[in-house]
Amino acid sequence: MVISEYLLYAVVILFSITVHEVAHAYVAYLRGDDTAKMSGRITLNPISHIELFGSIILPVILLLMKAPIIFARAKPVPIDYRKLKNPKSDILLVSLAGPASNLLLAFFSGLVIHLVRAFPNFTASFSVSIEHCFLTMIMVNVCFLIINMIPIPPLDGSKIVAYFLPVELRTKYLNLNPYIGLIILNLVLLSDMTKGIGIINLITNFFVRIFAGRTF
């Protein structure tokens, strides 16, 4: 992978996780909790969302290892559930906001690709470059969407599952050590003993084909 390709992934990953976190923060604000807003998290400035290990070290390691799945995480958005208008249902909305933002980024990236193809007067190299950039955007965001929906704390999927659990079990489930959850996730994704990566790649290519009309 050439340096320009690494740079492209870096930009796409940082932008995507930034939008993901802003979506969480903004929906929480709309539902009555201004904690993230007061912490300066409703901003597209990636510096406000970067976590050294999750946002930089982890994706760099995965890229250098030529891992089939690229994953990154930002600093968790601070949420005070007591301030939400309807805590139980609002937690669900806040949790869904991040993955929904990734789905929208993938969808609009597909629209850009189809728009570029509709104007063949672009030089071939320029058109190919734009298409490749937005194909990368689709691939990264669909991967983020799928992985974040896995029900392992602290991923968004765990909070969605928690919505349907009894109160006592919900509290214990969400209070699981997030680092243990991330270790389990990485073991699952990188282990040869699981078909997880193959399934994620299959789903990713399915969405890329829907949005862009081709596989990555």
Residue 68 Cα to chain centre, angstroms: 16
Task: Yes or no: say if 211 and 109 are a contact pair by the CB < 8 Å rule.
Answer: yes
Query: CA 94 to CA 27: how far, in whole Å?
Result: 6
Task: Yes or no: say if 177 and 107 are a contact pair by the CB < 8 Å rule.
Answer: no
8-state DSSP, 55: I
Q: What is the largest CA-CA distance in the chain?
A: 62
Query: CA 55 to CA 22: how far, in whole Å?
Result: 15
Report residue 90 as tokens.
Answer: 């609002």
Would residue 5 show up in a list of annotated catalytic residues for this protein? no
Catalytic residue among 5, 21, 51, 168: 21
Distances, alpha carbon 90 to alpha carbons 18, 59, 80, 86, 117, in Å: 21, 31, 11, 6, 40
Residue 216 Cα to chain centre, angstroms: 18
Task: Yes or no: say if 71 and 147 are a contact pair by the CB < 8 Å rule.
Answer: yes
Task: Yes or no: say if 94 and 83 are a contact pair by the CB < 8 Å rule.
Answer: no
Report residue 201 as tokens.
Answer: 């790649």
List residues with catalytic annotation.
21
